[in-house]
Every structure is written in C-alpha cells, then in structure tokens.
Structure 1
Amino acid sequence: MEPDDDKTRTHIVLTKGTMVSHYRIVEKIGAGGMGEVFLAEDTKLDRQVALKFLPPHLCQDEECRKRFKREAQATAKLNHPSIVTIHEVSDFQSRPFIAMEHVGGSSLKEIIAKGVISLSAIIEMARSIVEGLSEAHKAGITHRDIKPDNILVDSADRPKILDFGLAVIEGTEHLTQTGSTLGTIGYMSPEQIDGKVVDERSDLFSFGVVFYQLIAGRAPFKRETATAVLKAILTEAPEPLARYKSDVTEEMQKVITKLLEKDPSARYQCATDLLVALESLDVHPTGSLSTKVEEDSKRKMIVVLPFENLGPADEEYFADGMTEEIISRLSAIRDLGVISRTSAMKYKNSSQSIKEIGADLGVDYVMEGSVRWNRRGKNSDRVRITPQLIRTSDDTHIWSDRYDRTLDDIFEVQSQIAEQVVSQLDIQLRNPERQILNAKPTENIDAYQVYLQGLDFVGRPDYAESDFQSAIKMFEKATELDPFFALAYANLSRAHSMMFFHGYDRSAERASQAKAAVDKAYQLQPELAEVHLVYGYYYYYCLEDFEQALAQLDKTQRELPHDSRVLALIAAIVKRRGRIAEAVQYYERAFELSPRDASLPHEIGCAYMTNRKYTDAQHFYDLSIALAPDQTLAYVCKSWNYWLSQADVNRGCETIGRMQEDTQRHAFYMYQARLFARDYEQALMVLAEAPVVFDEGQWMLSPKSMYEAYAYQRLGDSLKSEEKYNEAKEILEKEIRKRPDDNRPHASMGIVLAALGNAQDAVNEAELSVRLMPVEKNAVVGPFRIEDLAVVHTLLGNSEAAVEHLEYLLSIPCWLSVPILRIDPRWDPLRDDTRFQSLLAKYGGK
C-alpha cells in the first residue's frame, strides 16, 4: 500500500557539499534524540550557520514534527545575546529543519567537565543565562529543558541558550497530555516529575541544578539510578556547596538553596528577582576583567601633559589638539597605560614638579613640550614642536627633540613623537598598533584645524549647550572642507548624542542626526576604533540600547584597550543592567587611567550608594569634591547619602547648600532639601528662583508647578494647590503628546492625577511609566518609576499596594532606604499603617 503522504519516504543522506536550499553542508557537529545538527555555509549571506534536522525516524510522528516547529517558533520570538538566534524554519525532502546562529565554542557540559572556571566567572555566566531566561519568560515562554547540554559558550565566554524543543508558549495549545513528563532526568523540577503544569519557576529550579553543577563540578541530585535521582529531587536536599568549593559564600549558598526549593512558591518567583540576588553576591568581576586589572598593574604608565602654546591665545586649541592627538595614538598601545586627556588637562599651567605630578597620577613617565605656529600665509605655515620624555622616579630627561616642519607635515610629526616614546620605553609594537600610530586622519589641513577647534568645544567639562552647538558647527565645517574626514563625522555624531543625553534636545530629529553622522563615519572608515566608540555613545545616549552599545564598545576595546572613556561607558551600561559591583570595577579601572577626572569617583560613589554601601559612597563623593570643588552633582549625591544612610536632614541640607548656584537645577535641588526639612514656605521661595519650567534629568521630567502644588498642599492651601496641579497637568499633557514613549512625563502625570483625585487614570499613567521603563531594562531608572507608582497609591489611600511596592524597592539595589522613608513627607499617610510599620522594622538595617 502506498503511503498517503511523503513523510515516510527515504531521506537523502546529508554529507559534505549537499545543498539544502541555499545552505551548503560542511559537516555533522551533533546529534540528539530530537535532532541532528550540521555546520553549513549560507551561500546567500556568506556566513556559517547551524542546521538542525528532525531525525528521519521521527518525521512520521506528527507530535514530534509539531514540537520541532514549536522550537523554532519559540526561539524566533526572542532576540537576546544569551539566546541562539533563529534564521528560518523550512523543509528539505519533507524533513523539517531549523537554520540558526552557529555558536563557536563549547557546551557548558564540556566546560564543567574541564573544571577550570573561576567562581567570579561562574557568577557572570549565571547572570547572562538568567538574563536570557528572563527574556524568554517575559515573552511567555517556559523552556522546560534547561541543562548544560542546552547552553553553549562562545569564544568570548558568552553563554547562549538553545533547544527550545520542549518549550511551553503561553496562550498556545499544549502538545502533551496532562500528567505526562517531559524534560531531562536530573534537571527536572519536582512539578515536572509529577506531571503538573509548569511555569517559569520550573526553569529556575533547573537553572539552580546547572548553577550548583557549575560551582561543585557535579550535579546536586546525582545518584546510581534514574529512580534514585527522581526520588532525590522530590525529597532530598543537596549537599552544601562548601563541601566542593571552599570559597563559596553564605549568600551564594542561600541563592542556590532558594533556587532548589521543592515548593515553587518558596523559590524566586521570576528571573528578575533572581538577577537582583545574583547582583548582590559579593564577588569580583569576571575572570577576564580581573586578569585585565592584574595586567594593568604591570604596564608602564605615562601622562602626556598639555603642550605649552608659545603663540597667540587664540591658537591655544592647536597646542591642546596636539596633546590630544598624541594621547590618542599612544592609547592604542596595549602594553602602555596612558592617562586620559581629562586628567592630563588638569595640569595645564601647573606649578607642580614632574615628581609631584608623577606621584599624583601614579605614572612612570611624563611627556611635555611646546608648540609654536608661525603663520606665513597659505601653504607656507610652519610649526615648531619640542617634546621631551622624563622619567618621574629620578626626574631624568631620557629623550627630547625639536621638529620644525610645515603645517602639512603635522601628522607625520605626531606619528614620529609617538614612535619615539614607544622606542624609548622598549615596547614592541604589534602591526595594528603601528598602523594607528601612522594614521593620517585627513588630507585637508584646514579641515584638521577646524576639527581641533571642535574637539576643544566638545571636550569642555561643563557640558554646556553652547559648547556642544559650537562643536557641531566646527565638525560640520570640517566635513564640508573634507567630505572624507571620518573622525570629524564621528565627533559630530558624538556632539549630537551629548546634546540629546544632557537634555538640551531630546527630539527624534537630534537622535537621527547623531545616527546619520556616525553611519557616514563608518561608511568611510569601518575599522576605526573611534567610530565604534561613537556608535556606543549613540546606542547608549539616544536609544538606551545597552546590548548594541556594549557590542560596539567590545570592538573599540580591541584597538583602544586602555581608554578611560570606553571603560567608563561600559561601567555606566552594566550599572543600568543591574550589575553594580561589576560597574564599580570598570569605573575604578577608568579612574586609574584618569585620576583627576572628578566624574569618576562621583559615579563610583553613586554605585556604592545604590548598593546601600553608604560609607564607601561617602569616601568617593568626598574625593570627587576634592578634585572639583566647583561642581554640583557630588554635593547633591552626598546630601542624598546623608538622607539615605542616617536620615540626617540637617547635614544633607548643609551639604547641598555648599554647591554652586549657577546651575539650572539648583532651585530644584534646594527644594528637595527644604522638603525633607518640612520647611514648605522656604521650598516655595527657592522654586520661585528656578529659571526653567521643568526639573528634567535622566529619571524625571517634572513641572515646577507640580512641586509648588505639593508645597501648597502641605501648607493646607487646597485652592492654590489644585490650581498648580491643574497647571502641571496641562503642561504634562503637551509633553506626553510630543513624546508618548518617554516614561518620565507619564510618571509625573500619574502623581498629578492622583493628587487631583482621578484615581483610575492616575494608576494607569503610573503603571504605563513602569512598563516603559521596567527595572530589568534599566536598573538605575526603573526603581524610580516603581517609587512613583507607590506615591500614587499613597495619595489615593491604597496603602497595601504602596507598601508592597516599597518592600520590593527595599529588596533591590536603589535609592530607597528605611531612614529616608522615615523623613520623606510623601509617606506620612502610611505612618499609622501596621504594614508600613512592619516594613520599617523588617528592613531597619538597610
């Protein structure tokens, strides 16, 4: 009898060279119960892919075919660096196959077998895996088969989850009968073994088994028989990890124990909660980063001091540009540590000795020099540059020279100076490093001069709008003079991105201008490290696309391994991803390379304060203020540190009163201080001095009238309060129409509507702001949205919901603590609530 379809037909044997659609088979690389995997070449896109085929003997089984297709559907819904990417699903000779990303490297099972992974690297790998699981769970997908075989680790040590063949997709028909058991013995959760309905907590149990195995080198429920394994999962507790690894902390054991609870309700309830717990583990950053820190300590260190301008004052930018260009070239050398331009410029016109500067910066060598530009008319200008290299330990001049050249030779002079430094320090150059040293950014010397003026404006420390506007004009003029000047386009994009990030212009047009400029730079010189750095700025500043930003910065680091700008940007991104301890490590490395940059200890202080390590935060805020007494933010954050750690209203107010008064947000900072002091009349007085309508920052967009309304409300002036709240409502409605996807105006609108008694709309707006900026997307800004939601519920009298949100915030790293809950008047309606009182008692030590 002939079959009624072709599912039982004989299948072609897949061998090297077989064409499957536009894929050419290279070799078989794996096989399992639900699939055979082949390495193949994608002839259309010239890349390697993995092709997973349903085994021939299962092609007749309709449930297997559906499950195989479901794997593709489940994975294709997801787009995350920790999940293997699906390219397409199709059939070949009636045999279903999935084309997916090829991950070079090893399976986690192979890595565990080698037993060489450090505890810090395990924690980082665990975080990445859980981030991938979180992405799947948010899409309504439960994997159901998490195990070491289903996690690949690529050549950059990044884990990737694969094989969603047993996944359950929320809202779709289950392909197995109730009471059936699917999974892998040893990694199944108790509820899987019992044939119950599973959810994301089952995946977390399975991950707990993997996590335990990574640390201990053996599975927690390993027994002689399958029956004994199942019994152990259902009834027995695993042995303590300390038996297998001596440096396991008590906190780490608690995380594992909670993951492996038999009752799903006793485990972490979602991957986001688990990520918070992993972040709190007190471990060093990844093994690779620790290795870099150790390598950094062995490198020779140098600072290039600002070259002295011997010409007119309006030529200062040229001497500063020479300094920056030499720093830039030397920074590409892996075996040399170069102090950043930001810190080097602090010593401009300094009276300190070379030894003193060397001690300040921790460097072995100092380069200094002078520049004289003799203008003689077009094509005949000459430049005299006199550099000298000095060893700081004994103040010995080990090399000096004088270059008297035409202006057209300036790039050659920069290269020769950099090469002389390398030669004198006995450093062996790699070929890519030599190419960077000899690079010529433009053939047009006029474009270069204008470009240097742009660098001067964009590098100024005050981040003033006028400086960014001037920089944009200079870079645009440079690109007009030389349309092939990639660095000018890159820095034009950087200036646009900074305009966006600092709140001067957050329009889609500004972001588009930033993207267009860096795209042009990439088109001209795709290999240029500075281009990838600027892509990093764009993705971080304008789009908050952290994955894309990190991918670009990874490319930058290959050419600029010791650039403090790159390290600081990576730190900012990993902090927003919730990895606070790792962010501190990156900031500290950046600070080593830029020890006079006051923004870096300020950022370290903020990271420590977020993790509620207030003593450490205080130290770094003091250091930041010592480096730049005329700044603003370190005073503001130091005040918050007093409020968060000690509820010390007076010291906080005193500290915030010491900052400069010439900033747009000064009145808002003072308002906050007066609010905690419960001096509402004074709060209104300082608000009257505010020169702008909005208090705008990374996590707030609040009309001044909203603040005024609250102060009047506290003073008992209900008519004036309502008037101001309605004024704020009108302002926010306009803002929301202009930028409906911006979480900040929705958060403020929720508070305003709650104060006006519009309960349902208030909650809707506040919850929308949380959805637009969840904690898992941005661990710095996300908690502020939840705090705003708690404020809304407090205003509406929903004390149970408010306390629930506050308890969540106290359980994660953020700017909320029991001391500040005690002094912030916004929580006064909760004071007599027993749940709020219990909350303060429970977290009183935090």
Structure 2
Amino acid sequence: MEKEKLIVIGKTISHYKILEKLGQGGMGVVYKAEDTKLKREVAIKFLPRQIAASEKERKRFKIEAQAAAALNHPNIATIYAIEEIDDEMFIVMEYIEGQELKDIVGNGRDRSLPIEDVVDYATQIAAGLQAAHEKDVTHRDIKSANIMVTDKGQVKIMDFGLAKVAGGQHLTKSGMTVGTVAFMSPEQAQGIAVDRRTDIWALGVVFYEMLTGEQPFKGDYEQAVIYSIMNEEPEPLTGLRTGVPLELERIVDKCLEKQASDRYQHADELIVDLQRVRRDSHSGSLKHSVTVSKRQAKNRLILVGSTLLLLALLFIGGLQLFKDRGGGIESLAVLPLVNIANDAEQEYFVEGMTETLIAELSKIKALRVISRTSVMQYKDTRKPLSEIAAELGVDAVVEGSVLRADDRVRITVQLIEANPERNLWAEVYDRELRDILTLSSEVTQAIVQEIRATLTPEEKQRLTSARPINPEAHEAYLKGRYHWNKRTAESLNKAIEYFLQAVEIDSNYAIAYAGLADAYYLLPFAGDKPPREAVPKAKAAAMKALELDESLAEAHVSLAGAAGAYDWDWSRSEMGFKRAIELNPGYATAHHWYGLYLMRLGRYDEAISEISRAQELDPLSVPINGFAATIYYVAGRPGGIARTNQENA
C-alpha cells in the first residue's frame, strides 16, 4: 500500500509520534501513537487514498466524522480529532488496551463465550448503539472486528463515522471483504436506504457469533453470503449449542428478522430484554434449550404449532373468564427504571421518572401501589421478579428504562404478572420533555386498561387533563426531589435550592411549591432549623401549592402535619389528612402521618389501621415500620410489635 510506505515507526506527524502498527483494513491503516502535547497514547487511522485524494469524499468524511466525534458514551471509542497534514488525512481516536471481540470468539464452537459474558457484551454494545442512534448516527458496519473488549470487560465500539463513508458506496463493490458482507442486513445488501435497525441486525449477527463461534450466514464468496442473508434462515442456536436460554434465542431471532419492521425498533428495547435474561439467569429461573438437529427442530415446530393452536382456543375461553372476574391484579410495584445512558448525571432524572409513575398509579383507588422507599431497595438487583413480587406482596410489577437526549425523553415500559410470570403489556414512548407529565398519564392509562382496573370519573378526568410543563422548571424540581429523598440536612437544603429555582422559572408550578413545603417541614427533624423558623415557610409553600392546584395530596399532608404538630389545630389537621388520602389513597406518607396524629389523640384502633395501610404501601420503610412498633407499644398490644419486627427481619 503506497500510503503506508510513507508512515515510518518513530516518525512524528504534527504532534503525534508513531509507535507501532496496530492493523489494516478496508478503511485504512491504524497505528498506535503518542500525543506529545497531552502526553497520552492514542490510535491514529490514516484514511485510504480514494478518500484522502477526493475533495468531495474528504468533505463528506469530515461531516460524518464530526457527528461521530460528538458521541460521548463509555461503550463508544472517543474520537479526539480529524487532522490533515501534507495531503495525509487521519483520525485520532482513543487508544484501547484489549482484544477485538473477533479474536476472543475465534472460529468454531469450542471458542464460544460463556452465556453470562455474551449477555454482558451484547448489553454494552446495545447501550453504545442507543446513544449513537439518539444522535441520529448509524454505524452501518457493526461486526466483531469493530468491537474491542478491555481487560476489565468493558466493551468499546470502534469506527463510528468511518462506516458511513463506506455505507455511501455500493455495498458489494469489488474488494469488500466477505467478513464485512456477513454482517450486512438484507436492506443493506440490496443497497437501499438503511437506519438504526441495520445496526440491530448486525448486533444480532455478532450475538449469534458469540454464542456459537460461527456466523449465521455463510458462503464461499460475497454473492453466496448475500443470497443466504436474503433467503435463508440461520441454523437454530439450539442445534449448535446446549444450554442456550430459550429467551436468549428469541432475542437473537428478533434481531435477525428479515424485515426491519419485525426487529427491535430501538436498541433500548433490546437492552430491557437482555437485563431480564441476566436477572433470571442469576435466579436460576431461565428455561434452557438442549441441542437438537434441524429435523428435530422442524418436528418440534410442528408440535409447537399444534400446541399453540390448542392453547389459543383455551385462551379465548380463559379470556372470557378473566373478563368475568373483572381482572385479577389489584396491587403492583414500579421497579426502579433503568438509566440506559449509564450517565450518573442523569440519575436524578431517571429516579424522578420512576417516582412520577408511582405517584400517578398510586392515585388509583382500585390499586395498591408500593411506594418509592420500598421499590428503590431493588435498584440494580438481580433477584427474579417472582421473588421481588413475593417480598412486596404484589400481583404484578412494572419495569422499564429511560433515556433522555437533549429535549426529548424515551421510556420503555413493561407490565409483568408475577405468578405465573408472564409479560402482559409493553410499549415504547418517545416525547418532548415538556410533555413528561402527559407521558406518565398515558403509561398509567395503558396499565389500568390492561389490568381492567375500575376508574372513578374523577380519576378518568385527571388522567386526561395533564398539561405541558416548563422543561427547565421540571428539571429543577426533579433535582430537588432527588436530594429531598436523601433526607439529610445538607440534602434538604440542596433540595430547597432547586425547588426555589423551579418556582423562580415558573411561578405557577404548583408541585414545586409542594416540594418546597416538604423540604422545609423536614428540616427540624434533620436538626438543621428550629421549628419556629422552618414550619412557617413550609406552611406558606404548601398554601401556595394548594392555591395553584388543590388536588396535590403532598401539600395537604405538609399543611396538616404543621397544623397538628405546631399549631395544635387538631380539627384542621385531620381534615387535611383525610383530604390528602381522598386525593391519593396510595400515598404512604399520608397514612403514616395520619396514624401519628391519631395515636396522639389516643384513637389507637384507627391509628393501627392507618399505619397498617402505610406498611402495605411501603413495606420496607424503616420509619413506617418503626412507628408501627411505637403505636402497638403505646396501645399496649405487644403482639403487633412482634409481628412488625418479624416482617422487618
């Protein structure tokens, strides 16, 4: 290669000292180099002559490389710079210590990876792709040779931007390697327009390769491989490897659907399914396959088809019974939504989305919804859903993921029945940030419809009346709630700063005033402010919130708490608690504080009833369970204390 002859090991180009050659491919030659200015190791890719010599190609490459350089994600190799020196054009990238996935997998079934590693790598690749797709960047050349794995197991996707240059050419031109063709999607092989779903297909090929050590579509030359991609189905995974979870086989098959519309439409949908496989594999609840031949697989398919027909007939009858029963799910838990971007700075937003969805569902009288305090203890858990549901005492769980990109938010949600475990409903929502409350109402309505919960006329009206919000004000509010939930003096003061910022941006944002009231009310308990200083501010904020929106249960609770504990106005306090519970029967704090009020008045039976309801809604809350023991003690009922301690154990 003439271009390569000009590159001498030890030579310095601009401020990059060439150290060694790393590899060569259709899109250029890669060298390891030292950035002498920043004193760091980098990788430099010198582009092929047809790009460097053509002004049109150079301009197009710059535009696409600039888009790729804007990507910032732990699973994407960072592009540092695009340089032009003496007719040389090269791209400066992050240097990664590790191995190409192609070399890790190798050739043949004896080199296939452990299932746990396959799921981990595929999840990381999908996360990187999702981040790129959110920025409208499609890789178009995902393959195991473009995936690096560090010594610590971190996956890095290489060559973003470069693939787009190649993608603009006719894909089966002379000189293209069979290795690249093997990862093409059907639409890519036809030379028609492609989008993010082409990357999902290619990830399916990589997935298949990791599981079996083989590629799903084979041939001795390019056109034979393309024919296989367009017309043939890959050998079933169950015919190549024993012990592949059936759910994992379904995921790979969905990635490799011939029609793009039949695949996963977004990478975050794939991530949610992979996370379930990972969790269930740790619990031992996954169903695994045994190796079968193609003939056995065909016979099995015929048997399965007949069985499914019978089950379909039974299902129709069962569905009528289900309708006659009016549902069957009366309680659920919204598990912490997953931060797809894996960005710590977005954690407050993802937790805020979880809390907003819990708040919306908890207002439905026909449902018992577990409060935030209890469900957050399952964040990043590997427990199976059935075990989580049993511990929380619910019939179903809601799980999903959140991805925010600039002024848009994308949420993937699933409703899963706990016993027997089955997916009842799933949906993906993509909205502008200003419509975030409308989005929560839409999700709530879909879940309520699926489980056939009965809504009151007021609940129906509320779910259809959500309005757009000021995104900046809501951003500040979510940050305030994030710090408020930590319940320390420092975090409460930080929360107050954000709530004040929210109402400064939007003086009519009622829920931010409610947050302000909650924060001021708790300051004396954190030992930061005396009640005479904090409580009046809490009352003022709560009254402002109710002036703007009388339906805010949180504000009623703060005002009721202040009226009883500090003003000794028992009548107004009780009215406030009752109104809060009427507005949001699933608000555990309302039942908790009302129980405290009733205990002070010596109304022990009522106090126990309220604190028991609070425990049902927030079974893992330390303050609620501690107070329950106090009520039983004061009421002279030690049996209740023992029962509460046993439930806490």
Give the TM-score taking structure 2 as reference length. Answer: 0.46
Structure of greater relative contact order (alpha carbons < 8 Å, 6+ residues apart)? 2
Provide TM-score, normalisation by structure 1: 0.36
